[in-house]
């Protein structure tokens, strides 16, 4: 019976000792993992491949948005040109005229939505700390007025 209490006492001491050791070393482990995580983020973010890829993404996205903006301008002109050939009184438009006018306006709406999405993606990445450092001299935040202010060729 005495041996039983000794064994139970040793097991209780081992369990309590383990809990005390965890309580002491857990904060040390958390700090160690935090430092490792920070180093991992820096190693993955601040390297030449990442710098090149992120800069190229920003540059391509800016050019893509500019291209979409030019297409939207041309689509709006197509609507205006089509409308200028129609009677001012819309009740005199044929069904085909109305359908074509709606189709052209849908294209303008779609182009506008694509531009807004592309600008939102650019601005979202621009606000990410580990990506924004690679923009170099590219704009921080894009908006439609940025492109409207440019003298775009082929409008």
pLDDT of residue 45: 63
Residue 14 confidence (pLDDT): 78
Q: Are 152 and 66 in contact (CB under 8 A)?
A: yes
Vertex 108, ends 67 and 65: CA angle to 5°?
A: 20
Q: Please state the rounded mean pLDDT for residues 36-62.
A: 74
Kindly report, residue by residue over 109-137, the tens digit of the pLDDT. Answer: 999 999 999 999 988 888 877 766 666 66
pLDDT at 154 over 50: no
Distances (CA, A) of 110 to 21, 49, 73, 107: 62, 34, 12, 5
CA angle 76, 116, 57 (to 5 degrees): 115
With bands split at pLDDT 50, 70 and 90, how would you rate the model's confidence at 19? confident
50 within 8 A of 128, measured Cβ to Cβ? no
Query: Is the pLDDT reported for residue 1 higher than 80?
Result: no
Whether 65 and 142 have beta carbons less than 8 Å apart is answered as: yes
How do residues 66-101 score in pLDDT, each as one tens digit? 999 999 999 999 999 999 999 999 999 999 999 999
CA atoms within 13 A on the CB side of 63: 6
Tell me 91's DSSP state. Answer: G
Top pLDDT among 20 and 56 is at 56
Give pTM, 2 decimals. Answer: 0.63
């Amino acid at each position: 019976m005495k041996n039983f209490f000794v064994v139970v006492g040793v097991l209780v001491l081992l369990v309590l000792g383990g809990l005390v050791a965890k309580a002491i070393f857990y904060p040390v482990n958390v700090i160690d993992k935090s430092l490792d995580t920070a180093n991992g983020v820096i190693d993955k973010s601040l390297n030449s491949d990442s710098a090149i890829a992120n800069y190229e993404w920003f540059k391509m996205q800016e050019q893509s948005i500019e291209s979409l903006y030019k297409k939207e301008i041309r689509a709006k002109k197509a609507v205006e040109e089509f409308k200028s050939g129609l009677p001012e009184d819309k009740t005199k438009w044929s069904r085909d005229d109305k359908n074509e006018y709606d189709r052209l306006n849908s294209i303008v709406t779609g182009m506008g939505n694509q531009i807004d999405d592309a600008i939102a993606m650019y601005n979202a990445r621009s606000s990410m700390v580990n990506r924004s450092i690679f923009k170099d001299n590219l704009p921080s935040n894009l908006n439609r007025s940025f492109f409207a202010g440019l003298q775009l060729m082929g409008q």
